[in-house]
Chains A and B, each alone.
Chain A
């Protein structure tokens, strides 16, 4: 079976939870055919800016032709180990992940959004998989709320820090979702069920 990213596993979970969700967009996502939207590209650019950011204070960040004007008051402690990749073999499927920050038993993820919705983050499986794959105890979201001022220029107007912890059944929950995803792939994407 080919390797699937945490975000694809989460896309599968969201599709399964939503009675009205259509199949084809999910299949396109799992095949890696979905084109990134403008907000996604802006988010990727902010990640890139933070990946290489050094200690210090600044009013703007820039990367990939995007500029981010910071009007929120943000204190961010960033360890040196950033953008770390890892995988876990769940038996029928391998799940891959790339965390923005790895700091001992804590993993952090930077998120960009136009509106902070903690329930969406907490309900998801991304944090569960990250804690499981990296054998970490604490997951921290650094959420940057931002809006477009003009093309490729965004204002970061608010910042939120949200945390979640490992719980006893976490590994089992991840294994169950990974197993369900593997069964789904065998049925709907048989060409992806073969080893890469």
Chain B
């Protein structure tokens, strides 16, 4: 075990996503998941029969039913739905304790047991992603009262909840408001969310009206993430170019000669430029928008 420090990662193209959908029982999470692209539902909760638009489903009674899932088993599907992720983690917990009773105490995992849970759940998701599948993690919602406010969060036992927050690239909550179902990826004061697609709250149509609703949502998130990948690549390149240039700048005159050019660069470069000037003790005149060298006594200090 060790800490391995490497160079900065190159941004990569997003081909598949892990999406967490959460909501109250009866909100229609499973029905929504069935509108993803050619889904296979792994029914850990044994509740798929309630979905009106049910598609291919495997009922899962034990973690051993899914641990050896192979690429060939999933060949006909593009999306794997884990319904629910909390129940899947419960089954994995039981399986870890069955294999090594020392990792459990009173039915709950020890610290080492949680390490095993984290490693095995993450490896399993990576396996599914490695087969090129999008994964939808369904979770029930828990409402907790904080004064007059209600906080909405995932209803998943103990520390395993953290694995879902970590694994999810996008996280949206499904709710029924004034008779209409809405899917909202935005985080608020009262609810968790991850919204890399920068989507507004979406009204969810019935599966009959739009049987590919979630497939389109996931594709739009991927498209947006890939736009961001390009923007990131450009910003990284600009930063690296400017990092070298900025290292050679010494006095106010050097910095002032480049202020005009820096204004057109990504914010990261502007920040780097201002940070370097401050480190050299230069003083920025906001009115004149130029740097001044420090007074001799300030420089000496």
* A158, B115: Cβ atoms closer than 8 Å: yes
* B2, A102: Cβ atoms closer than 8 Å: no
> Given A57-B4, A105-B268, A166-B198, A119–B165 Cβ distance below 8 Å?
yes
* B232, A123: Cβ atoms closer than 8 Å: no
Q: Which residues of A lie under 8 Å from residue B231 when comparing CB positions?
A: 104-105, 137
For chain B, residues 193 to 233, give those with C-beta under 8 angstroms from any C-beta of chain A.
193-196, 198, 200, 228, 231-233
Give the size range of A's interface with the partner.
Answer: 35 or more
* A119, B153: Cβ atoms closer than 8 Å: yes
Q: Which residues of A lie under 8 Å from residue B200 when comparing CB positions?
A: 168
* A70, B2: Cβ atoms closer than 8 Å: yes
Q: Which residues of B lie under 8 Å from residue A75 when comparing CB positions?
A: 4, 6
Contact of B196 among A80, A84, A117, A165 (CB under 8 A): A165
Q: Which of A1-9, A48-56, A181-189 contacts B (4 or more CB under 8 A)?
A: A48-56
CA–CA, A70 and B4, complex, Å:
10
Contact of A167 among B195, B235, B266 (CB under 8 A): B195
Report A153-188 CB contacts with B as 1/0, cut-off 8 Å.
Answer: 000111011111111110000000000000000000
* B2, A118: Cβ atoms closer than 8 Å: no
* A57, B275: Cβ atoms closer than 8 Å: no
Report B1-30 CB contacts with A as 1/0, cut-off 8 Å.
Answer: 111111111010000000000000000000
Shortest beta-carbon distance, A104 to chain B, in Å?
3
CA–CA, A78 and B159, complex, Å:
27
> Given A58-B2, A74-B2, A78-B8, A161–B166 Cβ distance below 8 Å?
yes
* B187, A86: Cβ atoms closer than 8 Å: no
* B186, A78: Cβ atoms closer than 8 Å: no
- Indicate whether B146 reaches chain A with its CB closer than 8 angstroms: yes
Report B140-165 CB contacts with A as 1/0, cut-off 8 Å.
Answer: 00000011000001000001011001
* B1, A71: Cβ atoms closer than 8 Å: yes
> Given A70-B1, A77-B8, A86–B146 Cβ distance below 8 Å?
no
Q: Would you list the 5 A-B pairs with minimal beta carbon distance, nearest first?
A: A104-B235, A135-B267, A79-B8, A104-B236, A118-B165
Question: Which residues on B are within 8 Å of A, measured CB to CB?
Answer: 1-9, 11, 111, 115, 118, 146-147, 153, 159, 161-162, 165-166, 169, 185-187, 189, 192-196, 198, 200, 228, 231-236, 238-239, 243, 266-268, 271-272, 274-275, 278
